Chain A
Amino acid sequence: MSFFRVENLGIHFGGVVAVDDVSFEVKRGEVYTIIGPNGAGKTTIFNLIGLLYPATAGRIFLEDKPLAGSVPHRVAQLGIARTFQNIELFEHATVLQNLLIGRHRHRAASLWQELLFTPAARRAELAAREAVEQVIDFLDLAKYRDSLVAGLPYGVRKVVELGRALATEPRLLLLDEPSSGLNPEETDDMAFWIEDIRRHLAVTVLMVEHDMNLVARVSDRVLALNLGMVIAEGTPAEVQAHPAVIEAYLGKAA
């Protein structure tokens, strides 16, 4: 049984083939990274996994169950959480509220219980708060707890988004360029957290990333894409040394 696997995935927008026949498998508990130059189709793969785009070919399996034919919110309810390249937070809500929305898939009370705020609804709410406070502790967000997201600096928002994904208690965490827009220090923190997420929370991570230092530091295996196609797969060192990868990034030797 495989934990998560993608088979022959493909999508084209009009005549442009964005992702072509991509297959890979992520093992439980590892950090698996997809790299590739701009326009290689990395984020598109995430959008296909999240069912935001309908795939034109191929299938996606979580624990051997196909995701196809489902809708985005079902994917989240199965335990796949993601972050976004350009941050998609709930801007006019506080950090705490943002993280609480991450608890959505664990809600326990019915509408009527919520309208009347019965003891059951209160218990569910307290449990949600407790889980979220743990994430706040874990990511050191306590001082931003009650601030509006709209006013926070970019680096903090990035962490809030990671926290929101963690608050869903995911089985598989998709990170779309976790280090983009972060300074070296913040990137270092991010690497630390990704290692911790894997080690202490036992969450499998699938990540798209450009920063090769970060990739080499946290990844178990790396998949290199170019123009929507797989060009190499292996340990970070293997992929970095692969001639096709070097060619994709630097061009052909004259």
Chain B
Amino acid sequence: MLSVVLSGLRDRWASFLGGFVALALGVGLLVTMGLGLSATFHAPERSPQRFASSPVVVQGRDRLTVDVRRGPDTVPVEQRLDRPQPVDDDVLRALRARWTVTASGGPDAVGVDAPAADVRALVGDRARVLTGNERARADPDPERDARALVTLNALLGTSGGVTAFVSVFVVASTFAFAVALRRREFGLLRTAGATPGQIRRLLLAEAAVLGVLASAAGCALGALGAPLLARTLVDGGLAPAWFTIGDAAWPFHAAFWTGVTVALAGAVAASRRAGKVGPAAALREADVDADALPLGRAVLGTALLLAGLGLLAWTCATDPSALLKRKTYTTLPMLLTSGVALLSPLLVRPAARLLRARGAVGTLVRENSAAAVRRTAAVAAPVLVTVALAGTLFGSAASVTRAKEVEAREQTAAQYVARGEGLAAVAAPEGAVVSPTGATSVFVRDGDEAVVKYGARAVADPAAFAELARLPVVAGDLRDLDDRSIVVNEEFERRRVGETVDVWRADGSGPVRLRIVAVLTLGTGDNGPYVTRANAPGAVLDRIDARGGGAATVRALEASGGTVGHLVTGASPNRLGMVLVLGIALVYTVIGLANTLLMATSVRGGELASLRLAGATRGQILRVVTGEAALAVAIGTVLGLMVTGVVLGTLGAGLATLSAPVALVVPWPVAGTAAGVCATVAIAASAIPAWRLTR
């Protein structure tokens, strides 16, 4: 048997090469993403800078501890404060009385030259005591490394997920199609006395050989690719300059075994089919695919489609703000996309029949596409996946950004807005209304069991704020905001005007009891609560809205130290990241397409020869073959756009539920580019073998 396997590999190297390249590249990408991902798990240890010469650092409180109910008991839960508070005066005095205390920078931490145990005993739980490398926590912005990695982690996680999804899909369908093309060969083996089991084992052995070789090659590829990825990320500004790839082993294991498993799984499904074909049936020259949609695929496709639609509807109904999150809009459409892709053989025939072309070429294109459902679907499905990915990823991200922009613009009546960190207060020029605000946070109990941190806005001048803000108020009046009240949104547990909420302030002080004066809709997520500066200790101004006063106002705003201009929200979608994700999918689709079409067209020698004998010119044959490829790509594109439509429609419904502006963006350029690249490759990959066959 083994020699049959080997002679098979030797003779059909062309069709195996496609599977090999697809699998090796997929494994390589997985290794690269995995290595990158593992490098984002740990920020490098930094040696302390600010208190490098003091063995012990005493830092003020940096978290809020509140007791909540957990079952029958009461347990303390912690929430991080925005920044550490100044060290308690009593503690400071006690420390100074006994040891040398070094101050440096702000009042939030001091260095102490003393044994750590003694300092701990003295301080107790009134402050934090840091030793060794932990002292770096007192450095300015100690979280910046970790923060830089969080974004990177999300990006690499998303790309890794998309890579896994697309590569598994393409490899499995390439394998299945390669097996379908070899129907006749299996028929020959069956008439020569091979049992169905032997055919299955033959296929599995081939898949195992191919899977191991390609996965090993992929691991080597990934080891080379990972440093390249790290450099690209650093150059592109997506990763901090110190970002490097570590020496983790798990990405290699994960990717290698995934590759082998995918190869075997693709072969298992295909081999079951191959084994079932009776010897006589296999030999019948059946070019019209009767059972292009086997039961297993139909069931799985339907299940995925229903799950995809169901989850979308359910999320839209129960938690519409989740639809705006990247995690949701990258993963949810995948279910829908794979469902439609699996069911595509059902849709191909009616779609092909819609072609109303006249003449011999048009008729042939239509009838061939409808008859060879497997081939048409094998081309259309990867195109569908790419177009749907492009449409849903870019479309959702762009729509969310657009909605946020529109919302932000709608929420102020200001003519000028100054933005920047730590703006200086400005006096309102003659005839102008000026409303400075800053970021702060409030902590509120949610039920008995949790404490929630809300990103809030601190209002410096309630009257000016009320005049300029155009917030979506559900109830109450913004003008009532004062030092003993709060404006909340509908996410709050208590959200009725006149009720009171207990609030801890940004420095951990409180709770203070504030009266609710107005309630806002949830929107895209930025309609946070509003308090006055009295309830926002430590808040610095980062935005000044102004209206009226002309040039004097602009001069005043400029004097605050911020940039004055029209309103643009900060968080623009991470384009480079998305291009990376889509690029992977596109490369993959292109390989799958080229592979399928090269394989499929190469075996059409007899058919094309009969066409030639029937009087078709070489040009006409090329037009038929490339026309079929183009039609299949068109079908895939239309299906992909339909998936995009459903996903964006749901997003729109979600935005409407949140009372946010419904501003949907269909990414025509990106989807068009994806479809165009697919069409070009498909036409080339079918024209080249057809050209050779008709020579």
**Are A and B co-members of a single complex?**
no
